[in-house]
Amino acid sequence: MRFVDIMLCFPSFFLILAVIAFLEPSIWNIMIVIGLTGWMGITRLVRADFISLKERDFVQAARGIGAGDFRIIFRHILPNAMSSVLVAATLGVAGAILTESALSFLGIGVQPPTPSWGNILTAGKDNIDIAWWLSLYPGLAILITVMGYNLLGEGIRDSLDPRLRE
């Protein structure tokens, strides 16, 4: 967990920039970088879930029947921790889209001629005086997509949370 703390202390965008300098900018590398710099939140989440779940009665019961650690971790605790992971992953997609578009906008993400909403916006910025619509629509597309994933995440959370089910 110390390592996670260290990773959380980086201004994440600085870290991404540093890693990009190491890997040449391309679609694959962007995916790798966003993954490499974005896993810490879920780690903490799963840890917190496991800490509380492993004290529950059903784990005790499983141990009482004689289930091994492996079985308890993967068959009993993990499925229970999955719901918050699923939510975090959905919201993470939204975050990753925003990060990718920001990187591509700065010219260190997806490289033209491969189009990305971010690098279309860069082209829009260069023609800001004559063609404002070039800057409007790609951003609107990002906004709608990200909002879609956020709403999906909230929806999953609401439907998986038994306290909210009435």
Partner 1 sequence: MPEYIAKRLILMIPLLLGITIICFVVIHLAPGSPTDLQTDLNPQVSAEAKERLKAMYDLDKPLHVQYLLWLKKLALFDLGTSFSSDHRPVVDKVMERIPITIVINVLSLFMIIVIAIPIGVLSAVHRDSLFDKATTVFVFIGFAVPTFWLALLLMILFGVKLNWLPISGLRSIGYGEVSFFAALFDMAKHLLLPVLLSAFGGLAGLSRYMRSNMLEVIKQDYITTARAKGLSERTVIYKHALRNALLPVITILGLSVPGLIGGSVIFETIFAIPGMGQLFYMSVMSRDYPVIMGVLFIGAILTLLGNLIADISYAVADPRIRVK
Residues that bind partner 1 (CB under 8 A): 2-3, 5-15, 17-22, 24, 94, 98, 101-102, 105-106, 118, 121, 124-125, 128-129, 132, 135-136, 138-139, 142-144, 146-147, 150-151
3-state secondary structure of 155: helix
In the bound state with partner 1, the residue whose beta carbon lies nearer, of 154 and 159, is 154
Nearest Cα to 27, choosing from 94, 122, 113?
113
Least Å from the CB of residue 134 to partner 1: 10
The two tokens of residue 106 are 């700065």
Give the Cβ contact number of residue 34 at 10 Å.
Answer: 21
DSSP secondary structure of 76-139:
IIHHHHHHHHHHHHHHHHHHHHHHHHHHHHHTSSSPTTS--HHHHHHHHHHTTTT-THHHHHHH
In the bound state with partner 1, the residue whose beta carbon lies nearer, of 52 and 126, is 126
In the bound state with partner 1, the residue whose beta carbon lies nearer, of 65 and 144, is 144
Least Å from the CB of residue 98 to partner 1: 6
In the bound state with partner 1, the residue whose beta carbon lies nearer, of 61 and 143, is 143
Least Å from the CB of residue 57 to partner 1: 26
In the bound state with partner 1, the residue whose beta carbon lies nearer, of 65 and 163, is 163
The two tokens of residue 126 are 């260069």
Least Å from the CB of residue 112 to partner 1: 17
Cβ atoms of 138 and 124 closer than 8 Å: yes
Least Å from the CB of residue 83 to partner 1: 18
